[in-house]
């Protein structure tokens, strides 16, 4: 118990250690929020990639359909 009291008194006297402790507490509090935001960004990026893949597939299908229609008209 005496060690904790001495440590708390030292912390109260030294402003740099106080700032460092407050920063550490703040970063520990932010960590779960940052992880959540990163996971949301990953989901968003995956959705965009899926959309781009579907868009390219439909574009190719449309181009193939137009080419087939042009061949039928030429024949």
Q: What is the pLDDT along the chain (75 residues), one digit of tens a residue?
A: 455 555 666 666 788 888 888 899 999 999 999 999 999 999 999 999 999 999 999 999 898 888 888 778 876
Q: Determine the pLDDT at residue 1.
A: 46
Distance CA 67, CA 23 (A): 64
CB 56 within 8 A of CB 49: no
pTM recorded for the entire structure? 0.55
Q: Determine the pLDDT at residue 50.
A: 97
| DSSP reduced 3-state for 75 | coil
Q: Is 31 left (phi over 0), alpha (psi -120 to 50) or beta?
A: alpha
């Amino acid at each position: 118990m005496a060690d904790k009291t001495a440590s708390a008194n030292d912390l109260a006297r030294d402003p740099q250690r106080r700032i460092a402790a407050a920063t550490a507490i703040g970063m520990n509090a932010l960590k779960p929020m940052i992880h959540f935001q990163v996971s949301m960004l990953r989901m968003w990026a995956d959705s965009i990639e899926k959309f781009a893949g579907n868009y390219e597939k439909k574009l190719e299908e449309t181009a193939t359909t137009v080419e087939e229609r042009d061949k039928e008209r030429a024949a």
